[in-house]
Structure 1
Amino acid sequence: MFSLFRGAAAINAFALLIIIGFLVYNGAGAINWTFLSQAPRNSMTQGGIFPCIVGTFLLSFGAMLVAFPWGVATAIYLHEYARPGLAMRAIRLGINNLAGVPSVVFGLFGLAFFVTWCKLGVSVLSGVLTLGALILPVIIGTAEEALRSVPATYREASLGLGATKWQTIYRVVLPAAFPGMLTGSILGISRAAGETAAIMFTAAVFFTPNLPSSLFDPVMALPYHVYVLATAGTEIEVTRPLQYGTALILIALVFGMNLIAIIYRARLQRHP
């Protein structure tokens, strides 16, 4: 059985290496300082992807700022305060169903609610809120599991010393569970950075040469830029190296953000 587990892990690692190797082979030649520091030009057949990098970072980081506090607060309520019953089961069923909803549905929801009804328009704010809703079920699930992993003796000792329930949660339970909660943020960043359908209706545009000056401006984003180059560009074959190079930068950006979160989580686990 352990050999089967090792084999499954090896297959996944081998597949990842193949994908990354394929992207490096086809896209590494397109990556240079111009590619990383300039905006696209000449119908996006030349220039770089700097606005896309900035837009992807803003959308991913903004989605985490929206979803992480909300998801942790929801997990605290579900695990520490909510009583078992019909309402509790309905809430959990809704969260589990949201986790399986396709991202294009979240994109259409964001278009109808944030862009049209709230009159936010196609903007960074609309994309951030839509991506925040998209990754919220993941944050809630991992945060609740982290709270569940804290031993009950921690709570009992704190309450026995005279602390209130909220003081126990805030000063004892949350610090112990926080490194595990960061796992949800890592998964959330990965999903938010790579989404296309959720932002193509709410935040991303085909082309804009300027960086956003406010939350109400549209942005370019790496996943949508790859989609545009591969499907709607004027010279798809000419931009093929740019497509692979953009995908490679997207993987590097996600890896970098994940690495920062992983290092921070490791430091918290060593020095809580």
Structure 2
Amino acid sequence: METIFIIDYIALGLLVGFMAGLLGIGGGGIMVSIFAILFVMQGFPSEGIMHMALGTSMATIIFTSFSSMIAHYKKDNIEVPMTLRISVGVLAGTFIATFIASYLKGVYLALFFSVFMSYIAYKMFRKAHYYHNDNPHGIVGNIASGTFIGAISALVSIGGGSLSVPYLMHQNFDIKRAIGTSAAIGFPIAISGTLGYLLNGWSHTDWNHYIIGYIYVPAVVLVAISSAFTAPLGVKYATQLPTDILKKVFGLLAVVLSIKMLFSVI
């Protein structure tokens, strides 16, 4: 790998770590877009670039979500029974969706990703209002919702927070407990998704370029390590910087990057 790409991946990790700590997001929306762009620049085969971007992002989220989960557990922000119920659905939905993704052309995955990130940007700009739900879901509803959250998360390679936090708040969770529980749900999403992209992409493995399945190992290592340095910094400034404005900036950045990625893949 050329030095310029090593610098690019480290810089991406620093950005993702800071945003993860600041806004409580996994950074998948940023990682997938930039991974796809960098993979094109590195000259990887075009037909597998989008799949590699999704798989590599999912593998990276294992590390970012685990550290977030541990931090929230120490602060007693995780509702363990709900986490276990949703995780049952998440594990199945995420794993199955990776099989679907492996059969889709990269351009369709890129298009779906771009549309989804536009939806996330819309959510970043609007102020959500939650009311007490007199009929929260039971176990079956939690598992079914987890399956849906896991499936969408696998197709766009995110930790699921943009879906699970609103769902948990609709189940009458306060915001702090919703974010903490969502962080815990993100870990099984990442584990299941990584395994799925690893198995489904096994025929694309290229040991000479450190590609295992649909996962580009050097990118995972560099981004995961560098993000660990800036995540605490993001947490530190979470209460000092104008979060509402930063969310809007993140939303716009995600859309711009996803459109750029779409054209790169095409």
Larger radius of gyration: 1
- TM-score normalised by the chain length of structure 1: 0.34
- TM-score normalised by the chain length of structure 2: 0.35
Richer in helix (by share): 2
- Greater RCO (CA < 8 Å, at least 6 residues apart): 2
